[in-house]
Structure 1
Amino acid sequence: MRPMTTKPELFTALSPSLLNLYDLKDSIVVIIDVLRATSTIATALYNGAASVVPVDSVPLCIELGEQLGGITAGERDGKVADGLEYGNSPFEYPREFIEGKTLVLTTTNGTKLLHMALNNGAPVIVTGSFPNLSAIADFLIREKRNVVLACAAWKDRVNIEDTLFAGAVINRVREHFRINCDSSNLAEAAYQEAQPDLYEFMKSRDASHYHRLTGYGLEKDIRYCLTADGANVLPLFQGDRLIAVPAVAAVSAVPGS
């Protein structure tokens, strides 16, 4: 681990359309898509998936699925995308189904944001959600590197759930970082207000994604995705895919550590 004499910095991009405002080249980027891509990624890896290959289009998902002998999955606008086998619900990937398999996943917002970060030079990319909140917070504290919390939002529009997760991370790691970032402070303030009951906060604030998913009968998904540490693994992007890295091995697995 390289020595640092000052605390690293932490910033929050509340929408993909704001990501270009941040220098990613020496930062850990945390991709956040709580409902539901990054919650599903954590769950699949926690349940033993060999890897998750995130792609930004349905045709590529189908093509890679055939090449890799993997499970093709994903959604567009909250529903299973045409041509894919499975959707974006974490409940579709129990251990007895996903263990040892490769999941090729495309989603409306999260997988596209991951590729944006990659294309903008991010050296370290992980995916975060409430189900793996502790793994993310512990990793960021341990690594002592600059951080950008990147919210997938909804078609570039800021959303409540990703902002709340960014706030939850900041709430846990604040003393280890220099934070001179209004969006980070707003996210933490929102989380502190919502913390007693995240689901009821989403509902009472008329959150757009709450309405979208409850309209599809997915209340169970929302509650799971807002619950901390149900799938507490660290999904680290290596090569072209996300793998689960044990906490004790995470530092040595990161380039430049």
Structure 2
Amino acid sequence: MKKPSLYTVLSPALLHLYDVSNTVVVVIDVLRATSTIATALYNGAKEIIPVDSVERCIQLGKELACITAGERDGQIAPGLQYGNSSFEYPKEFIAGKTLVLTTTNGTKLLHMALAKGATEIITGSFLNLSAVCDHLLQLNKNVILGCAAWKDRVNMEDSLLAGAVVSRVKHHFDVNCDASHMAENLYHMAKNDLYEFMKSNDASHYHRLTNFGLERDIRHCLTPDLANILPEYSNGKLIIQQ
């Protein structure tokens, strides 16, 4: 029986090179969109509406009377109520509520994959690594691991998460993809201490967030399975796939 294919796309700028139709796209934005999405849903958020502009986020917030959140360049975007930190969405705050979210990289990639006709879009982070891998193995469909990167520039943490997924599922897929092999090798170099690896290798996002005093966020986002649910995009919203 022919195995499904698995490709890693290290930047949204490369997505046009891949056939997204009949494919499950895993949107990866470790620092911090997909980590925040997993955390908020795990803590009981009713749904998350990802949008690709601050203006649309503000508009929907008014129309739906819901929480607006997001960032530009790592900080809360002007006009929004909350930022892109998992720690802003504890159960006692987010349970039962709708969150409209826009981020610099992650929500942009999600909408790109949607426009290209992806069969299914889910979001992946270290926080829900096992749920993502289990789902991909169960589906047995072609997969693209889409790294949100940073303004189209390849980044370390999204590549590491892609590598972690590849290392767990590769025997069930046809992985004719150098980006996947590179990501997996990087992950094996880093897996004993992801935070220290990011720090010692001068990862750009490590410096960016550390300069904002967000070391705690980085450590949290690099911890596997703390919010092990599967966010799936359906009818304009991210909800937990049952």
Provide the TM-score with structure 2 as the length reference: 0.99
Out of 108, 132, 137, the position equivalent to 1:141 is 137
Counterpart position of 1:12: 8
| 2:225 is the alignment partner of 1:232 | no
Counterpart position of 1:150: 146
What is the SS of the residue equivalent to 2:4? coil
Q: How far apart, CA to CA, are the structure 1 residues paired with 2:23 and 2:119? A: 7
CA offsets, 1:35-86, max 9 Å, x none?
A: 0000000000000000000000001001111112210000000000000000
Counterpart position of 2:105: 109
Counterpart position of 1:55: 51
Offset at residue 147 of structure 1 (A): 0.1
Identity value in percent? 66
One-letter amino acid of the counterpart of residue 167, structure 2:
N
Offset at residue 196 of structure 1 (A): 0.4
CA offsets, 1:139-174, max 9 Å, x none?
A: 000000000000000000000000000000001101
Q: How far apart, CA to CA, are the structure 2 residues paired with 1:146 and 1:68? A: 36
- State the Cα RMSD in Å: 0.5
After superposing on structure 2, the runs of 4+ consecutive aligned residues of structure 1 that deviate more than 6 Å are none
Offset at residue 209 of structure 1 (A): 0.1
One-letter amino acid of the counterpart of residue 79, structure 2:
G
Q: Which runs of 5+ in 2 are unaligned?
A: none
Provide the TM-score with structure 1 as the length reference: 0.94
Counterpart position of 2:77: 81
What is the SS of the residue equivalent to 2:232? strand
Offset at residue 130 of structure 1 (A): 0.2
Counterpart position of 1:217: 213
Q: How far apart, CA to CA, are the structure 2 residues paired with 1:187 and 1:29? A: 17
| 2:186 is the alignment partner of 1:190 | yes
| 2:107 is the alignment partner of 1:100 | no
Counterpart position of 1:254: none
Q: How far apart, CA to CA, are the structure 2 residues paired with 1:121 and 1:43? A: 27
| 2:24 is the alignment partner of 1:28 | yes
Out of 202, 205, 213, the position equivalent to 2:201 is 205
Q: How far apart, CA to CA, are the structure 2 residues paired with 1:169 and 1:68? A: 36
What is the SS of the residue equivalent to 2:153? coil
Counterpart position of 1:243: 239
| Total equivalences in the alignment | 242
What is the SS of the residue equivalent to 1:86? coil
Q: How far apart, CA to CA, are the structure 2 residues paired with 1:219 and 1:241? A: 30
Q: How far apart, CA to CA, are the structure 2 residues paired with 1:238 and 1:192? A: 33
